[in-house]
Chains A and B, each alone.
Chain A
Amino acid sequence: MKNKISMRQAGIIILILVFSNKILLLPALMFDFVKGDAVISLIIMLALEFISLPILLKLKSKFPEEHLFDILQKYLSKAVAIIIYMVFLFYMMIKAILTFSIVYVYFKEQIYQEEFVAIALITFLPIMNHAAISGLKPIARTMELFSVVILTGFLFCLGIAVYTPLSIPDFFVASAGKIFSSVYKFAFPFGDFIFLFMIVDKIDYKKEQEKRLYFYTILSFILVITLFTLFYAKYELTSFMHNDALADLLAYSVRFNAIGRLDVIAIVTLLLSTIFQMEIFCYAFCDGVLKIFPLMDKWYAALIFDLLFLLLYYLVIGNYEVIVDATVKYFAPFGIFANFVFPLIVWIISRVKGRKNATS
């Protein structure tokens, strides 16, 4: 029980992770590519992502106490396990940089126009490190506490959008080929279940509580699909011009001008969810480093995360457009791996284990 998280906490983690990189810039990017059919692409991606959940639960039932790394090592050899974990580390690092870059640009435009990136990093990195060092349980408990605020803020943004002029978006305007190529192109921001696979040993699994995990997953999917649909219904043809979907559901409505800056609600929601997402990415990275280098102290793992983050951000990426462009052009295979290939590997392992048990 110690250092384990409940099924509800795991559900809340997935709820907040599903929001990452999908509620600000992605709706505009996807609309630019496939117009209103972005909603169809999104549903396809989420449906495919959903398959990971029963696979995860099956894995947990077959290997109740084993760490994912150990399972991979046992069935696929240590070298393969290390390679897979290296991919995960890279994936988590890029996800962290992508999330940070998008949210940083948003906050810079909205409130901190004079600030420079170092100031944001000073405030973000220590919190992420502290969370990673403290462990999964404190992160999950804090998330559980703030999930009410995040959910309320999210629902408020959606609710306000309902009261603004909306029109039904045009669906099926793009060809099937284009819709499926958008599934591939924008695969990187998906694949959030990878994190649950990485912490599979730390989930306090109870068969009767599986529905909680399903509930939060379905809830998060419904919220994201609703966000996309409302966003396209509100902005129609100009959706590609609005890079901050959640906040833009509140803004640009003449009707609500009297209230003033209503987007503060979106700002708070985004800030809280981003902090937790970054904490999770940092934790996952550190956990992975500690598995590959078992003798390393977790402080050093956090330090490696910081150094790599800063090096990549300053030296390679430099600005927001580069990382966004790279995730669409070059990192899509990582999303495909995380979303489809890896769950398939895990499913095969679970089947093999099941057969072994049956024969023994």
Chain B
Amino acid sequence: MRLLKEFKKNPMLIVLLVIMLVFMPPALVSPGQNRERGVVIAIGIDKDEDEYEISFLTFIPTPEQSYTQKNSVISGKGETIAKSLYNAEIVMGRKIGLSHAKTTVVNEKLLEDDVSKHIDYLSRFASLSENTIFVCTSSPAKEILTTSSSLQSTVGLQLDEIIAYNAENLYISDTSLEAFYKGYYSRSSASLIGYLSLTDKEGDKGGSAQSTGQGGSTQVDEGSDTSGGESGGKQGGGSGQSQKQITNNGEAVLLKSGKLVEKLSANHLNGINLLNRKSVNQIVTVKDVDYNGGKYDFSYRIKRKRINTATKFQNGVPIYSSHLVLGLELVEIEGEHERLKVNTEFSEMPPQIKKKIDEEIKKQFTEAMNILRKNKADVIGIHNKFFRDNRKAYKKFIKDIKSKDDFLDYVNFKINLELKSD
């Protein structure tokens, strides 16, 4: 009776009781979340003629005393992404949660068509977060996941960490799904995403990195027989036999309206990023420079960058002029001298070195611009700069030309470099 009186006095107690009755019994009898849901940490999407294959690098939480993480690659095939995901869920025996997916790898073939069509279901409906790192590969995406799984177990390096380095130092923007969409919906519908490839362990490791002298990095994997096993659309995946390695040369791919139009080397990326003040640390090498009676190869690191940019329309021509102050640090000298004192004899930057560096940087920029012009892909934001600074003239100019995509062809770049020894 006292209890009833208490309930009458405080009707919220009844509410509390009802809530407990509704929530507690199902919570007690239902299985744990890890039994119902599989946590996906990376996604790979492949496509052959008429079928998608979607692969998941999954992490199934199991109570253990050690910190080791059990990963496995699971895949499903289907005519659509939704169907493939459904089939993968059947293989896994769990619902798939994509909110923890840090990396999404798509096979090059998907980029032959507008890739946004393929990933629409994942990002819009299946809760794939837009901050997932979005990269492209020439190899089957499934194999990349399998290899990355063992990369993690052997050297503790995750795929997203490798790409995050590229994003910070080469692309100078996130290579995320969000960044892809930002480019996709921009005035020139152009985006830039990271590029990885898979090679046999004995294969060519240096790739373009050696030829460009940019010191591309190569991540080595010791095999791919960790937790997968079976392949072919069932649990597990990957070759299981041959030893593969993920090759990261700092390359990227240029997309126009979601389609792959050009592969870009690290050098191209440096050219593209010349006008990006955040982009520093690149190495510029000039060879066979006459200095103090000898010939040397000099390598400088761009330590700091200051940029003043102005845009205008002069006689109906869009002019993009930029004054760059680059603080360069001499990091390496190759020549006849064996014991060179960097801080004394070479602390000054003589005019012949400045001239060569000027030429080298402008050459990189011109090459990069030629690629962007050829593909009508403004990933630098030239359109935006003109729009913001000279809106009226820009709009008029766009009206007068055949297509706004041609705008880059008309822009006259005036780059003035001021090189300082740092």
Contact = CB atoms under 8 A, between A and B. Distances in A.
Interface of A: 109, 113-114, 119, 122-123, 126-127, 130, 165, 168, 170, 235-238, 241-242, 251-254, 257
A168 B12 CA distance: 49
Nearest to A256: B131
B131 A254 contact: yes
A165 to B, nearest CB: 8
Given A113-B97, A123-B19, A127-B15, 5 more contacts: A119-B23, A122-B22, A237-B186, A254-B131, A254-B167
B22 A241 contact: no
A303 B285 CA distance: 78
B234 interface: no
Contact of A130 (B12, B36, B164, B167): B12
B15 A126 contact: yes
Interface stretch (B40-48, B176-184, B306-314, B316-324): B176-184
B22 A130 contact: no
A316 to B, nearest CB: 25
Contact of B182 (A109, A127, A170, A236): A236
Contacts of B388: 168, 170
What is the interface of chain A mostly: helix, strand, loop, or mixed? Answer: helix
Contacts of A242: 130
Interface string B189-205: 00000000000000000
A121 to B, nearest CB: 11
Contacts of A254: 131, 133, 164, 167, 174, 176
B131 A170 contact: no
B19 A122 contact: yes
Contact of B18 (A122, A238, A251, A252): A122
A252 B127 contact: no
B350 interface: no
A130 B16 CA distance: 12
Contacts of B12: 126, 130
B11 interface: yes
A251 B15 contact: no
B387 interface: yes
A303 to B, nearest CB: 13
B189 to A, nearest CB: 10
Identify which of B130, B167, B173 gathers the most chain A CB atoms within 10 Å of its CB: B130
B127 A109 contact: yes
A254 B186 CA distance: 21
B15 A170 contact: no
B131 A130 contact: no
Contact of A237 (B19, B23, B185, B387): B185
Given A119-B22, A122-B18, A130 B11 contact: yes
B102 interface: yes
A165 B131 CA distance: 13
B208 interface: no
A106 to B, nearest CB: 12
A58 B284 CA distance: 71
A217 B339 CA distance: 71
Nearest to A238: B181
A236 B187 CA distance: 12
A101 B334 CA distance: 68
A235 B23 CA distance: 38
B157 to A, nearest CB: 15
B115 to A, nearest CB: 15
B227 interface: no
A166 to B, nearest CB: 13
11 contacts: A113-B127, A119-B22, A119-B23, A123-B19, A165-B173, A168-B388, A235-B182, A236-B182, A238-B181, A251-B131, A254-B176
Contacts of B219: none
A257 B129 contact: no
Contacts of B22: 119, 122
A168 B23 CA distance: 47
Contacts of B174: 165, 254
- Of A165, A237, A238, A257, chain B has the most CB atoms within 10 Å of the CB of A238
A280 to B, nearest CB: 18
Given A109-B127, A254-B167, A170 B19 contact: no
